[in-house]
Structure 1
Amino acid sequence: MSGGNREAGRSVTDKVLSVLTAFESQHRPLALTEIAAIAGIPVSTAHRLVGELTEWQLISRTANGRYQLGLRVWELAQNVGRQLRDTAKPFVQELFSLTQETSHIAIRDGNEVLYIERIYDTRRVPQSTRVGGRLPMHNTAVGKVLLAYEEPWVRSAYLDLDLVRATERTITDARALAAELDRTRGRGFATTYGEQSVDTCSIAVPVFHTGRIGAALGIVVPIARSDSLVRHLPVLKAISARIESATARIPLESLLRAHQVGGDPAPPEV
């Protein structure tokens, strides 16, 4: 039976999460057999778990009998970073008003960038992601900022990963990326030029919290106007400082806990 050889020794929680994350790589409704195969569990187990998840509205069934993530998942996800998002939202809106460029704020979640708030104009820049969306850190300006100011063990762990190439300009060499992160920290901002999408470039600055990196604030502009990117730096830095001041008393540790890169349980003891 499909995936049956992988079921032994797995907890119920592991199987449930495998079912839910089956939809992460397949952006379409899935048949029960597909869910079972991707999750690595027998069809009978998938049938039982999908049925229970459907009752909880975490999964919904389409008219043709396939399954997709339910609205309840989206509702729960909205609570992630809500306090930071609600506090930062007016500042991101102000950034957009002052620059008229796609504006966003993001945090690190494991080895990815998680976008907490984003305001974009579809007439100017193609939408690469959305609020709650994720992208790699090495080919986004916000990601480079987050990596540059993170603890050394986080940076080292990320540099040990296979760096996926999104475009011909994506930095996939660990040494080149390390040098780029050094430049980012030295000048206080990061840029990308066609590294996530060939049509766009971006710039981002850090948002600090109690002396350490908390988030990254950035804008995205069409690649045709890349020469105007750095002129937005004063506005970015000013609004970053205002967000830092507004969030200073918010206990962000629960939100910005040390997500582990590559499954490492903790930074190495020295």
Structure 2
Amino acid sequence: MERKEGRDQPNMLDKCLRILRAFDGGDQQLRLSDLARRTALPLSTVHRLVGGLVEHRLLAQDDGGYQLGIGLFELSGLVPVEQELRVAARPFLQDLFMATHETVHLGVREGADVVYVEKIHGHSDLGLPSRVGGRLPLGCTGIGKALLAFSSNEVRTEYLERPLRAITPHSIVDPARLERELAEIRATGLAFEREEATVGRECVAAPVLVQGVAVAAMSISVPVSAYRMPQLAAAVKTSALGLARQLRTGREHRRPPGGEMFG
């Protein structure tokens, strides 16, 4: 009996994760039938598992269906990258927002995607697919390009060798073209996205470099009609440099006497 229960536990965890990841498409709310269809699980199984997820506040339920619960948000604050990075970045993101009144993002790389760890909504934030905790392909976003440009040669090569995903008709799907753009980003320290994630929106991004490695990147997203490249580029680059200095200072303060830095 114990062996059977041991086998079932990973299977149950996988099913619960499939239910939570059913919201990856950006939907705020899903019905039970939607969850069953997206996870390819029997409706009875989904009904049983969502009960436990609601009990632990990983999902919330109302008359319209289910949505991600506050428990996930509370857990996300315990992730080390968010603890250090979000706290350090918040003043710089707020300054950037106050200077532009446009949407600003902070993101990190996870595999072939950018994961957004912070976002301040601008006055014209309509139709943007980004959300805190959400992910988009690296090659379709300014933040993703900045992260990819300053990743290792192995990471860039692996990314460029796979089929490039497209979100809009403007997304770059030619590896040679993206490789040229990444080289330009390394030379200038600025990455641009031109309607590649959302039609009608453009953005400029800059990497947050610590010891030459992009630990994060930040961006400003604006409507095409409001794009002011020189001013926006200078603002985001200044903020990224400030955050990089803050992170380096924090790491040096954690250096043990006569020893190596932590992290």
Match of residue 102 from structure 1: 103
1:231–1:23 Cα change, 3 Å: closer
CA contact (8 A) 1:167 1:195 kept: yes
CA contact (8 A) 1:203 1:230 kept: no
- 2: CA distance, partners of 1:193 / 1:118: 19
Q: CA deviation at 1:203?
A: 0.9
- 1: CA distance, partners of 2:24 / 2:131: 15
CA contact (8 A) 1:199 1:222 kept: yes
1:111–1:250 Cα change, 3 Å: farther
> Any gaps of 5 or more consecutive residues in structure 2?
1-6, 252-263
Match of residue 119 from structure 1: 120
Task: Name the stretch that deviates more: 146-155 or 237-246.
Answer: 237-246
Match of residue 235 from structure 1: 235
Q: CA deviation at 1:220?
A: 1.7
Match of residue 16 from structure 1: 16
Pairing 1:47–2:25 present: no
1:60–1:171 Cα change, 3 Å: same
Q: Residue 192 of structure 2 aligns to a residue in which SS? A: strand
1:133–1:127 Cα change, 3 Å: farther
Paired letter, 2:119: R
Task: Name the stretch that deviates more: 204-213 or 161-170.
Answer: 161-170
- 2: CA distance, partners of 1:45 / 1:225: 49
Paired letter, 1:212: V
1:96–1:68 Cα change, 3 Å: closer
> Any gaps of 5 or more consecutive residues in structure 1?
1-6, 252-270
Task: Name the stretch that deviates more: 152-161 or 137-146.
Answer: 152-161
Q: CA deviation at 1:15?
A: 1.9
1:181–1:58 Cα change, 3 Å: same
- 2: CA distance, partners of 1:61 / 1:174: 43
1:24–1:186 Cα change, 3 Å: same
TM-score, scaled to structure 2: 0.80
1:118–1:69 Cα change, 3 Å: closer
Pairing 1:70–2:69 present: yes
- 2: CA distance, partners of 1:127 / 1:206: 24
Paired letter, 1:94: D
Q: Residue 218 of structure 2 aligns to a residue in which SS? A: strand
Q: Deviations over 1:24-55 (max 9, x none)?
A: 33723222x54344323344433332222222
Task: Name the stretch that deviates more: 237-246 or 36-45.
Answer: 36-45
1:143–1:74 Cα change, 3 Å: same
- 1: CA distance, partners of 2:57 / 2:121: 30
Match of residue 86 from structure 1: 87
Pairing 1:161–2:162 present: yes
Q: Residue 126 of structure 1 aligns to a residue in which SS? A: coil
Q: CA deviation at 1:141?
A: 1.0
- 1: CA distance, partners of 2:8 / 2:55: 26
CA contact (8 A) 1:146 1:215 kept: yes
CA contact (8 A) 2:104 2:122 kept: no
CA contact (8 A) 2:113 2:136 kept: yes
Superposed counterparts of 1:21-32, under 5 Å: 21-25=21-25, 27=27, 28-31=29-32
Task: Name the stretch that deviates more: 187-196 or 46-55.
Answer: 46-55
1:56–1:149 Cα change, 3 Å: same
CA contact (8 A) 1:145 1:190 kept: yes
Superposed counterparts of 1:124-163, under 5 Å: 124-128=124-128, 129-163=130-164
1:9–1:177 Cα change, 3 Å: farther
Q: Residue 216 of structure 1 aligns to a residue in which SS? A: strand
TM-score, scaled to structure 1: 0.78
Task: Name the stretch that deviates more: 238-247 or 73-82.
Answer: 73-82
CA contact (8 A) 2:31 2:66 kept: yes
- 1: CA distance, partners of 2:43 / 2:121: 42
CA contact (8 A) 1:125 1:200 kept: no
Percent identity at matched positions?
34
CA contact (8 A) 2:113 2:135 kept: yes
| Paired positions, count | 241
